[in-house]
């Protein structure tokens, strides 16, 4: 964890594999048992043809990235705004990248994008934190 | 699951849920293990996106969301960290509701505050309900 970041990093990046076992554990921990996220007939008959990871699980990777970059400042002042662009079909390797957009009066804003290994964009948005 | 509200009951501005909110250390540990995050940064505080996930769980428990719903967007602003084991309260309302070509777009706002009514976090959850038979 980085405490008291004086000069914000220009780029932050984090890659994590999201397999079905992780999604199943997340479904319990986050109390979201929607069958489209699990190995169920509903998932295979659904719009994606197979299970899709919870979007909030992908967003959790973004939060982890910001935690690694800003530590306690993220916990105390973090803000995030995202739109999901496509489903993360399991198993999937997710890379989250944050690129510094602006640094004004102690608040930094990053453009956020999450992609899967094939290049498909899963999520875009911005994250802010006071440093 | 018995829901207290149908999706069709919702109206813009409708405040539909107010409930105690307390997250235990065990719940945080299970969440972090599932997402793959290190617990080192979250010995005292609740990870912010976990708060959002629990708000969504409450939304799903309260409102009968139709099949075909898509979670399209999420916003979160931390005002101050939520402490593990701290008794808080969450209030949820419908902040926007619209229909376009049969698809319904709804935005839910959740405010998390402490026992002094001071803000802890605010969140918005955007969803789209596709018309029956539509695919993405």
Spatial separation of the C-alpha atoms in residues A73 and A51, rounded to whole Å: 35
pLDDT digits (tens, 9 = 90+) for B55-104: 999 999 999 988 778 999 999 999 999 999 999 999 999 999 999 988 99
- Parallel/antiparallel/unpaired status of strands B69-78 and B63-64: unpaired
Q: Is residue A1 pLDDT above 60, yes or no? A: no
Instruction: Say if B37 is an interface residue toward chain A (CB within 8 Å).
Output: yes
Q: What is the pLDDT of residues B114-135, one digit of tens each?
A: 999 999 999 999 999 987 655 5
* pLDDT range class, residue B49, cuts 50, 70, 90: very high
- Is residue A111 in some structural domain? yes
- Rounded to whole angstroms, the Cα distance separating A71 from B45 reads 12
**Any A CB within 8 A of B136 CB:** yes
The count of other CB atoms within 10 Å of the CB of residue A105 is: 5
What confidence score (pLDDT) does residue B110 get? 98
Average pLDDT, chain A: 94
Q: Distance (Å, rounded) from C-alpha B91 to C-alpha A36?
A: 28
Which CATH number describes the domain made up of B5-129?
3.10.129.10
Residue of B nearest to A32 (CA): B57
Percent of the residues in chain A that have a pLDDT greater than 90, as a whole number: 91
Helix H or strand E segment including B97: strand B88-100
CB contact under 8 A, A80 and B27: no
Are residues B34 and A57, on separate chains, in Cβ contact within 8 Å? yes
Count of domains forming chain A: 1
Which residue from B73, B55, B49, B51 is spatially nearest to B18, judged by alpha carbons?
B55
How much is the pLDDT for A3?
52
Q: What is the CATH number of the domain that holds A114?
A: 3.10.129.10
Q: How far apart are CA A113 and CA A41, in angstroms?
A: 31
Tell whether A123 is covered by a domain: yes
Query: For A76, which of B56, B61, B78 is closest by C-beta distance?
Result: B78
Inter-axis angle of helices B48-62 and A55-70, to 10 degrees?
Answer: 160
Residue A41 placed within a domain: no
Q: Tell me if A83 sits within 8 A of A62, measured CB to CB.
A: no
Taking residues A125-130, report their average pLDDT.
Answer: 98
Closest CA to B14 of B4, B24, B25, B27: B4
What is the pLDDT, as a whole number, of residue B4?
84
Residue B23 has what pLDDT? 98
Distance CA A12, CA B134 (A): 38
pLDDT of the residue at B67: 79
Establish if A38 belongs to a structural domain: no
- pTM for the full predicted model: 0.94
CB spacing of B34 vs A79 below 8 angstroms: no
* pLDDT band, very low/low/confident/very high, at B1 (cuts 50, 70, 90): low
Could you report the predicted ipTM of this complex, rounded to two decimals? 0.93
pLDDT reported for residue B3: 85
Which residues on chain B are in Cβ contact (under 8 Å) with A61? 35-36
Q: Which residue has the higher pLDDT, B36 or B5?
A: B36
Q: Which of A3-17, A41-55, B74-88 is predicted with the least confidence, judged by mean pLDDT?
A: A3-17
- Per the structure, the complete domain to which residue A94 belongs is given by 11-19+53-130
């Amino acid at each position: 964890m980085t405490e008291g970041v004086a000069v914000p990093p220009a780029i932050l990046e984090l890659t994590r594999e999201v397999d079905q076992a992780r999604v199943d554990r997340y479904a319990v921990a986050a109390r979201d048992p929607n069958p489209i996220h699990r190995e169920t007939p509903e998932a295979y008959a659904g719009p994606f043809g197979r299970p899709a990871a919870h979007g909030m699980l992908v967003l959790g990777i973004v939060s982890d990235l910001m935690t690694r970059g800003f530590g306690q400042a993220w916990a105390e002042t973090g803000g995030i705004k995202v739109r999901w662009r496509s489903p993360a079909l399991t198993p999937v390797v997710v890379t989250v990248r944050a690129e510094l957009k602006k640094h004004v009066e102690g608040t930094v804003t990053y453009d956020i994008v999450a992609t899967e290994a094939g290049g498909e964009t899963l999520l875009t948005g911005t994250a802010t934190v006071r440093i | 699951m018995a829901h207290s509200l149908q999706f069709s009951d919702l109206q813009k501005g409708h405040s539909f849920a107010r409930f105690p909110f307390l997250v235990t250390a065990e719940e945080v540990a299970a969440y972090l293990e599932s997402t793959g995050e290190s617990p080192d940064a979250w010995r005292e505080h609740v990870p912010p996106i976990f708060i959002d996930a629990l708000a969504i769980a409450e939304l799903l428990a309260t409102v009968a969301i139709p099949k075909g719903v898509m979670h399209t967007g999420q916003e979160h602003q931390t005002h101050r960290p939520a402490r593990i084991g701290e008794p808080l309260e969450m209030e949820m309302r419908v902040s926007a509701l619209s229909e376009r070509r049969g698809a319904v777009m709804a935005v839910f706002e959740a405010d998390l505050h402490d026992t002094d009514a001071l803000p802890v976090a605010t969140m918005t959850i955007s969803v789209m309900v596709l018309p029956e038979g539509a695919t993405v």
